[in-house]
Amino acid sequence: MARKRHLSRIAVMQVLFERENHELDIEKALIRDARELGDIDESFAVSLLAGVMGKEQKLKEIVQADAPQWSLDRMDPISRCTLLMAAYELVFGNDAPPAVVMNEAIEIAKEYGTEESGKFVNGVLNAIAHRKKK
């Protein structure tokens, strides 16, 4: 199950990334990316993508509040998409522990982002998680 969730998160991040640069049918893009990645948890991926899309403005505000020196436009696109996805799970989700969500996001950022993406994503998500505890 953990591997399926990991692949689901990658697929969602890829769709969010693609959507920034192209008009696309997000559901078709998710299915396409899922096929390329392998066996994903489709219901989780659909739910996660819908959640991020539905709360996108609020998620941008949350991420921006914990990365005040970096505008969303200045962030590398992979980090930005990964942060939106993970912030959704941290703030609005309740089916994975925060440590799992954070570790998954950091790994995705390291694998797909820049050399500094993992550290950046870690710092922002850590701040979001700590603020949520209060």
Question: Residue 125: its pLDDT value, please?
Answer: 97
Total-model pTM: 0.91
User: Tell me, what's the pLDDT at 132?
Assistant: 72
Which pLDDT band holds residue 110 (cuts at 50, 70, 90)?
Answer: very high
Q: Look at the chain and report how many structural domains it folds into.
A: 1
Work out the percent of the chain whose per-residue pLDDT is above 70: 97
Q: What is the DSSP letter of 75?
A: S
Q: What is the pLDDT of residue 133?
A: 64
Domain of residue 60: give its range.
Answer: 2-133
What is the average per-residue pLDDT within 92-97?
A: 90
* Alpha carbons 34 and 108: distance in angstroms, whole number: 15
Q: Give the 3-state DSSP-derived string for 88-100, with helices as H, strands as E and coil as C.
A: HHHHCCCCCCHHH
Length of the chain as a residue count:
134
CATH number of domain containing 123 = 1.10.940.10
Q: How far is CA 70 from the centre of its chain?
A: 17
**Average pLDDT over every residue of 108-126:** 95
Q: What's the confidence (pLDDT) of residue 39?
A: 80
By CB atoms closer than 10 A (0-12, 13-18, 19+), residue 91 is: middle
